[in-house]
Amino acid sequence: MKIVTHLDQIPKIEGSIALTIGVYDGVHLGHQHLFKEMQKHTRKEGTRVILTFSDHPTTLFTPDKPTPLILSLEHRLHLLKTFDFDLAIVLPFNQKLAALSYDTFLQNLHTKLPFTHLVLGSDARLGKDRAGTPEAIRELGKILKFSAEYLPKETYHKEPISSGRIRKCLMQGDLKKVKKMLGRPYALRVPFKHPIRENEIQYRLDYDLDDLCILPSAVYAVDIGKVPAIAFYRSMEEVTGHTRLFLTLYFEQKLPETSHLTLNFISYLHNELDPELQEPTTLLENLNPQLNLS
């Protein structure tokens, strides 16, 4: 998947081009269904393109209370690569972009990328003031020669799956529901660091992250690529409205040296965050049955 950050960087593409546009925070089952449907428009000879944004629109519209993200941008792009996109266009959601009408935005984009199919979620509204309704987009499609398809939302327990619903479940600490709607465990993807050797059998890693959706402060069972670990997870909201989390991981096996680590949150353990009161070694001894990593 080629990644570009400006419309002028888009390579020349011929033939059938299926495009989707959205933040796609979480890359949840609803998003995944839409991505798979795009394959019907391109088959083997076509090109699949996603236009996404490096930040959430709320960072512009409500900067004092931005929406915390389920995934970092790097994590989102890492997951998108698994859905066979040929090209990802990553744009900043800034004032200039927000001021564009839907038709100006799509005409500018179509000049650089002559897409033939536009595939969106049922609630997608493009352009300034969300004026790009399905009816308006389809009319524009007649002029620019593209089809527009709007897909209904996937559901879980008879309610639509959405990034907002997943954020709410995360903040409540409901990892089981989150896993059902994501189609995988909730995870953080963090840069690799060399662990600190705590003692003869135990390693430790510390991370300081911000602007991500927060679980309740607690101790969680985690797996790091088949390595069982416990995570002492503390969250804090700053006066700016941004969220910050502090993560301390304990584990007993060496980690492979890769560019990033994926920390899969499996289950809640307890809310005692003082390692001196809850000995990490004792907790680790009981993890394997819970994680089922064999």
- Strands 260-270 and 243-251, bridge-based pairing: unpaired
Name the pLDDT band for 291 (thresholds 50, 70, 90): low
- CATH number, domain containing residue 105: 3.40.50.620
> At 17, phi and psi to the nearest 5?
-130, 120
Chain-wide mean pLDDT for the chain?
A: 91
Are 248 and 135 contained in the same domain? no
Are 140 and 213 contained in the same domain? no
> Would you give the distance in Å from CA 218 to the centre of its chain?
22
Question: Which among 30, 6, 29 is positioned nearest to 124, based on CA atoms?
Answer: 30
> At 253, phi and psi to the nearest 5?
-125, 150
With respect to residue 67, please indicate whether it lies within any of the assigned structural domains. Answer: yes
252 has a pLDDT exceeding 50: yes
Are 6 and 129 contained in the same domain? yes
User: Distances from the Cα of 99 to the Cαs of 89, 102, 141, 173, 251, in angstroms?
Assistant: 19, 9, 21, 37, 49
Residue where a domain terminates, one of 156, 176, 204: 156
Are 12 and 142 contained in the same domain? yes
**Average pLDDT, integer, range 145-155:** 96
Quote the domain boundaries for residue 8. Answer: 2-156
d(CA 54, CA 109): 17
Name the pLDDT band for 293 (thresholds 50, 70, 90): very low
Are 46 and 98 contained in the same domain? yes
Are 152 and 234 contained in the same domain? no
pTM: 0.90
Number of structural domains in the chain: 2
pLDDT digits (tens, 9 = 90+) for 14-38: 999 999 999 999 999 999 999 999 9
266 has a pLDDT exceeding 90: yes
**Average pLDDT, integer, range 182-206:** 93
Among 44-48, 49-53, 121-125, 193-197, name the one with the lowest average pLDDT: 44-48
288 has a pLDDT exceeding 70: no
With respect to residue 196, please indicate whether it lies within any of the assigned structural domains. Answer: yes
52 has a pLDDT exceeding 70: yes
With respect to residue 179, please indicate whether it lies within any of the assigned structural domains. Answer: no
